[in-house]
A and B are shown apart, each in its own frame.
Chain A
Amino acid sequence: MIPAPRWRKVLRDVLRNPTRTLLVVLSIAVGVIAVAIVMGAYGIIAADLPNAFDATNPAHANIRMQPFADDLVDVVGRMDGVADAAGRRVVSVQARVPDPEGPPGATTWQDLQLLVIDDFDDQRINIVRPESGAWPPDKGEMLVERASMAALGAVEGEPLTIKLANDDERALKVVGQAHDMNEVSLAITGLASGYITPDTLEKLGLDRRYNEMLIRVAENADQRSHNEEIARAVADKVEKGGYTVFRTSVPRPGEHFLEQFLSPMLLILGALGVLSLLLSSFLLVNIITALLAQQTRQIGVMKTVGASAGQLTRMYLASVALFGALALAIALPLGTLLMNALLAFVARLMNFNVVTNRLPLPVVAVLIVIAMGVPVIAALGPILRGTRVTVREAISDFGAGSTVFGRSRIDQALESIRFLSRPQLISLRNTFRRKGRLILTLTTLILASAIFISVFSVRASLFRTMDDAFAYWNYEVRLNFARAYRAEHLAAVALEVPGVRAAEAWGLRNVYRVRPDDTESDNIRLIAPQPDTKLLNPTLLEGRWLLPTDEDAVVINTDLLDDEPDLRVGDRMVLNVDGRDVAWTIVGLVRSVMAGPYAYTNYPYFARMVRQVGQADILNVALEDQSPAAQTAMALELERVFEAQGMRVVGTETTAAQRDQVGDQYGILIAFLALMALLLAIVGGLGLSGTMSINVLERRREIGIMRSIGASTPAIMRIIIFEGVLIGAMGWILGALLALPLSRILSDAVGEGFIHSTLTWTYSLGGAAFWLLVMAGVAALSSFVPARQAASLTVREVLAYE
């Protein structure tokens, strides 16, 4: 069926002006893509992650304790409220891996936990699944968690050298990969995971007993408080049986531990997505208004031959819907592609398999509504105004320039400017001729600028906060010893090594708080520096730092306060240290260092309390050369020196490595914020080029007049490009100013969402400068094309243009 002439007009108007159609379609598409990425990813993660996680039958509680055997597992398994219990052995070792920072062939040690699985084909709790290669591993073989392969430099079929706690080095053959969703991803902890059978464990010279009890709760397992109750009952029971419990952890039921991290990220991305959509609809309002202005005469003619305003409204709404449909055709595939990139990223971070790779149908439905609805709503105002124009207004609208200039105060202020050349004055005054359009274009540019600079500022703030955090640790290498040695001796040995600036032996225990109602907190790191320590620069927020004379005083950090919000400086607090409840007085609060809940106390008191007076198992070493390479080299050297003296080092940490790891985590966030900022930048660029091409189209007649009185091609191009650059510059300046409060809000939100503390806010001047370059480029480019188009018209063409 042949459509009626008016619908043919709609179709041809859309097709005949490909530049404008592309501009409109792209601006709608960008907004839709932004929403598609965030909504799609969120929908898929929300659907796939709990399913994948539940399928592993995750433990409701995890109790680390003294070695035990199957008989205790059976006892626990029969307890009221316990659905199932399983024993597991976790062995901390180190694996020899190629050193990426050292010379070729150099190796370093990577922390590795070996999980011992009784029967790989009959797992009940925290199920590990085969990924590739052999299953199960034989005696002397191991499987490696798929996300740990790269960090271990592991190759299927090749042996891996591991070092046990007693410094024995053994080779285990890597025969395959496993997938374990219950171990916190290597990307977060830096800890690699491997899986062996009990036979292999025996072959390594270790006994077969378990050191971890995994529990599934029978009823109401979705209530964390109930799970905590059951876990405490189990812990009480085993303690009565004479076993020491080291640590009990009860995760949020049914929730992957990274979901907390993911929600704020998706929330921020979602907010930016909605904002891009909003800005792209501003752009649409501009373009539709201009399109209608351009077609005013045609509207008049159509009305003359009998068209009603309703018919015309429907025609133009149809063309907007057509733009929306074209935008959808671009946004659906491109949005799916980008969403899958985000999902791949998140899946790697969280180590889970994304099953779905298509936009969920409800999301597609929402996108269709957005792609067709938002433009129609945005365009409705301009269309109703445009089609309500009377025929007389429509057909009498001719001559050079139809807009009124000179009435507003801005215009009068501009008229009083005299120092510019005449062509520059034209640019300047033209800029302010269409004020509504200028406001919408500027809003887009200002918001795009502000958000772009804010994202860079959040990045700068994150790194600044990290710098603060690591400046806080005024040492570069930490050595963990197999047992306690004499503290003074440890420091003395280290100070002998050339390049060592300072060395202090500290105490460290994992403890938990016993609350007034007898419930227990999650793990807290109790750190005991020397009273006159020079290796710590805490940022004190409240109270005071430790005095050498303090006995039972502790200083807590903001992460601990976050977990235990009832704590106040001056309060008493009970901590369970090595199985004993000890009361402390809180004397101060320090800023958290992106490291979790910490409490600090004086070393002498701590040593007495843990019955290791004068002894320590941790040595912190400050170096003269603090470069990452020097840190790695010194860690190895110190380890060699101590081993040579018969003191067993079980692990070394360098701040450079920790820093890389933290940086990687936030790099992900920054990458996605930057992606959204880029989408906004595209919207901003489209907005400016849209406005400039509309302005040029509208002023063709004026351009013809300028040509006829002697304006050269470069002169006309300069006038138009100057106007574009002027708008760009205004957008940049106002955006850079708006970024001052906005970056602060965003950096607070990111801080709250990710480290439960505000970031040290920093305004990124580099980001602002970079954006200035981008804006200058975008402004010049987006006005160059319309300018060249305008300059290529002949006087006859322009003046005859109807």
Chain B
Amino acid sequence: MFWSRSNGAGSPISTNGVAHAAPHAPRLIDLRHVVKNYATAAGAYTALRGIDLGVDAGEFVAVVGKSGSGKSTLSNMITGIDRPTSGEVLVGGVAVQQLTEGQIAVWRGRTVGVVFQFFQLLPTLTVVENIMLPMDFCNTFNEHRHARRERALFLLSQVDMQMHADKLPTALSGGQQQRIAIARALANDPPIVVADEPTGNLDSHTADAVFHLFEQLVAAGKTILMVTHDDDLARRATRTITIADGEIISDRPNYAPHAVVDDDVDDAILLGDEELRLA
């Protein structure tokens, strides 16, 4: 099973002239002293209190914590959905906090695939159109007229949903919608996938199947950061980070993750971005 057909020409990180990270920090995701404060009606509130975190390419990181611990804020820092009050967020060498909103949108579209708890498929677009949409916005996979649809159908086949390509999302079950959302997250062949409670709205059987998809992605060379409150699932990732009150209170590797990766993964064409893999 392979997730990218782009043979190294797929999705370069758009840097738009923004400074790369210092050479002594060759990590794919690098958070340095990240602080996030919110002003709320009930007064100032600190969601992150000086987070330092590094993630390498190919890791499968689970972020756990209770409601309000700051785990979603952490994932929003990495996806560029939110900005730190202070500190640095370097993803693939790009200082995300220095990009403008417009630059972030394009950068994110090509670099980070996001999977939500409630799937968030656009209700008026069919399944295949939902997957084509990121390519449309980021103007990728346009080498010929049918390139985007072909890629979308290919991604659907990877999540076993090709038979539903021309249905509207509302006609499908939650598990099916989440598979499609994962396929959409991969549309522009990003090196990183960030998922916020991707199984939170699914029954345990379906959640297991979705989790299995993530494991396959990791095996194919993607880097995954998954926010969850399910400790059992977290233990199956390669690394678990626990957050409480905006601080990392534990960061440990899981030495015996369930190894369920297919044996015939073609490592050579996993990511389509040599620079990132080397980084």
A305 in contact with B118 (CB, 8 Å): no
Partner of B108, one of A12, A13, A306, A388: A306
A297 adjacent to chain B (CB < 8 Å): yes
Tell me, yes or no, whether A308 is within 8 Å of chain B by CB.
yes
Q: Are B124 and A308 interface neighbours, CB within 8 A?
A: no
Residue in B79, B124, B138 whose CB lies within 8 Å of A9: B124
Whether B137 pairs with A305 at a CB distance below 8 angstroms is yes
Given contacts A303-B105, A305-B133, A308-B106, contact A9 B81 (CB under 8 A): no
B226, chain A: closest CB distance, angstroms? 16
A302 and B138 form a contact (CB under 8 A)? no
Question: Which residues 275-306 in A have Cβ within 8 Å of B in the complex?
Answer: 297-298, 300-306
Q: Flag whether B116 is at the interface (Cβ < 8 A).
A: yes
A-chain residues with CB within 8 Å of residue B76 when the two chains form the complex: 392
Residues of A within 8 A of B136 (CB): 4-6
With most chain B CB atoms within 10 A of its CB, the pick from A5, A301, A302, A303 is: A5
Is B110 touching A802 in the complex (CB atoms < 8 A)? no
Residue ID in chain B nearest A295 by CB atoms: B122
Residue on B nearest A13 in the bound complex, by CB: B124
1/0 contact string of B67-100 vs chain A (CB within 8 Å): 0000000001001111000000000000000000
Q: Is B188 close to A, CB under 8 A?
A: yes
A740 at the interface (CB under 8 A from B): no
Is B187 an interface residue, CB under 8 A from the partner? yes
Interface size class of A (residues with CB under 8 A): 20 to 34
User: Could you say which residues of chain A place their CB within 8 Å of the CB of B138?
Assistant: 306
Interface status of B189 (Cβ within 8 A of chain A): no
- Separation of A13 and B137 alpha carbons in the complex (Å): 18
CB distance from A383 to the nearest CB of B (A): 16
Q: Considering the chains assembled together, what is the distance between the CA atoms of A8 and B138 in angstroms?
A: 16
From B105, B106, B123, B133, A5 is in contact (CB under 8 Å) with: B133
Which one of A297, A304, A307, A395 has the highest number of Cβ atoms from chain B below 10 Å of its Cβ? Answer: A304
A12 and chain B: residue at smallest CB distance? B124
Known: A8-B129, A305-B137, A307-B137. A297 touches B108 (CB 8 A): no
Say which residue of A5, A307, A310, A395 sits within 8 Å of B129 (CB atoms): A5
Q: How far is the CB of B136 from chain A (nearest CB, A)?
A: 5
Q: Is A35 an interface residue (CB 8 A)?
A: no
Whether, in the assembled complex, A19 has its beta carbon less than 8 Å from a beta carbon of chain B, the answer is no
Option from B82, B102, B106, B122 in Cβ contact (under 8 Å) with A302: B122
Would you give the 0/1 interface string for B129-144, flagging 1 where the beta carbon is closer than 8 Å to chain A?
A: 1101110111000000
B246 at the interface (CB under 8 A from A): no
Does chain B have a CB within 8 A of A391? yes
Tell whether, in the assembled complex, residue A310 and residue B102 are in contact, meaning their CB atoms are under 8 Å apart: yes
CB distance from A13 to the nearest CB of B (A): 5
Contact call B105/A6, Cβ cutoff below 8 A: no
Residue of B76, B79, B114, B133 ringed by the most chain A CB atoms within 10 A: B133
Cβ of B198 < 8 Å from any Cβ of A?
A: no
CB <8 Å contact, A304 and B125: no
B45 to chain A, nearest CB (A): 14
The answer to whether the Cβ of B151 comes within 8 Å of any Cβ in the partner chain is no
Q: Assuming A297-B120, A301-B122, is B81 touching A6 (CB within 8 A)?
A: no
Beta-carbon nearest neighbor of A4 in chain B? B136
Residues of A within 8 A of B80 (CB): 391
Pair A309/B102 contact, Cβ less than 8 Å: yes
Q: Which residue of B lies closest to A15 (CB)?
A: B124
Residues of A within 8 A of B130 (CB): 5
Q: Does A611 contact B (CB under 8 A)?
A: no
Q: Give CA–CA (A269, B114) in the complex, Å.
A: 56
Is A665's beta carbon under 8 Å from chain B? no
Residues of chain A contacted by B102 (CB below 8 angstroms)? 308-310
Chain A residue nearest in CB terms to B117: A395
Q: Is A16 an interface residue, CB under 8 A from the partner?
A: yes
State the CA gap A443–B116 with chains docked (Å). 41
A16: B residues at CB distance < 8 A: 124
For A9, what are the chain B residues with a Cβ–Cβ distance below 8 Å?
Answer: 122, 124-125, 129, 133
Given the complex of chains A and B, what is the CA–CA distance between A672 and B188 in angstroms? 60
Check A6 against B124 for contact (C-beta < 8 Å). Answer: no
Q: Is the C-beta of B175 less than 8 angstroms from some C-beta in chain A?
A: no
Contact A308 B105 (CB under 8 A): yes
Contact call A306/B188, Cβ cutoff below 8 A: yes
CA distance A392 to B114 in the complex (A): 13
Q: Does A311 contact B (CB under 8 A)?
A: yes
B179 at interface, CB cutoff 8 A = no
A298 touches B122 (CB 8 A): yes
User: How many angstroms from the CA of A391 to the CA of B114 in the assembled complex?
Assistant: 12
A51 partner residues in chain B, CB cutoff 8 A: none
Report yes or no: B101 in contact with A309, Cβ–Cβ below 8 A.
yes
In-complex Cβ contact of A395 among B81, B101, B123, B132 (8 A): B81
Residues of B within 8 Å of A802, CB to CB, are 118, 120
> B101 contacts A5, CB within 8 Å?
no
**Nearest CB of B to A251, in Å:** 64
CB-CB < 8 A to B79: which residues of A? 304, 391
Tell me the nearest residue of chain A to B194, going by C-beta.
A304
Q: Of residues A16, A301, A302, A305, which shows the largest number of chain B Cβ atoms within 10 Å of its Cβ?
A: A305
What's the minimum C-beta distance from B186 to chain A, rounded to whole angstroms? 11
Residues of B within 8 A of A303 (CB): 105
Whether the pair B124, A306 counts as a contact (CB closer than 8 A) is no
A1-41 at interface with B (beta carbon < 8 Å):
4-6, 8-9, 12-13, 16
**A305:B184 contact, CB within 8 angstroms:** yes
Give the residue name and chain of the B residue nearest to A391 (CB): B81
| Bound Cα distance from A306 to B101, whole angstroms | 11
B132 and A5 within 8 A (CB): yes
List, in ascending order, chain B residues with CB within 8 A of A13's CB: 124
Interface string of B246-263 (1 = CB under 8 A from A): 000000000000000000
Residue on A nearest B102 in the bound complex, by CB:
A308
A13 to B122 Cα, complex, angstroms: 10
B109 interface hit (Cβ, 8 Å): yes
1/0 per residue, CB under 8 A from B, across A390-420: the answer is 1110010000000010000000000000000
Measured CB to CB, the nearest residue on chain B to A398 is B118
Interfacial chain B residues near A392, Cβ < 8 Å: 76, 81-82
A308→B108 CA distance, assembly (Å): 10
Quote the shortest CB–CB distance from A25 to chain B (angstroms): 18
A306 and B82 contact, Cβ closer than 8 Å, known pairs A16-B124, A298-B122: no
User: Are A302 and B108 touching (Cβ within 8 A)?
Assistant: no
The residue in chain A whose Cβ has the minimal distance to the Cβ of B142 is A4
Chain B residues within an 8 Å CB radius of A4: 132, 136
Residues of A within 8 A of B81 (CB): 304, 390-392, 395
A311 and B137 alpha carbons, distance in the complex (Å): 8
A623 to chain B, nearest CB (A): 75
Collect the chain A residues with CB atoms within 8 Å of residue B41's CB.
404
Return B97 CB to nearest CB of chain A, in Å: 13
**Minimum Cβ distance to chain A for residue B121 (Å):** 8
| A304 vs B107: C-alpha distance when bound (angstroms) | 10
Using a CB-CB cutoff of 8 Å, which residues 156-171 of chain B contact chain A?
Answer: none
Per-residue CB proximity of A39-67 to B under 8 Å, as 1/0? 00000000000000000000000000000
B105 contacts A307, C-beta separation under 8 Å: yes
A302–B124 CB distance below 8 A: no
Cβ-defined contact, A301 with B120, below 8 A:
yes
Q: In the assembled complex, which residues on chain B have CB atoms less than 8 Å from the CB atom of A310?
A: 102
| Complex contacts, B105 vs chain A, CB 8 Å | 303, 306-309
Nearest A residue to B130 by beta-carbon distance? A5
Cβ of A11 to closest chain B Cβ, rounded Å: 9
**Can you name 21 A-B residue pairings with CB atoms under 8 Å?**
A5-B125, A5-B129, A8-B125, A8-B129, A9-B122, A9-B133, A13-B124, A298-B120, A302-B137, A303-B105, A304-B81, A304-B114, A305-B134, A306-B105, A307-B109, A308-B106, A308-B137, A309-B101, A310-B102, A390-B101, A404-B41
A residues lining the B interface (CB < 8 Å) = 4-6, 8-9, 12-13, 16, 297-298, 300-311, 388, 390-392, 395, 404, 802
Given A5-B136, A309-B101, 11 extra CB contacts under 8 A:
A298-B120, A298-B123, A300-B120, A302-B122, A304-B81, A304-B120, A305-B188, A306-B109, A308-B102, A308-B137, A310-B102
The 6 closest A-B pairs by CB, nearest first: A306-B109, A305-B134, A12-B124, A5-B129, A306-B138, A306-B137
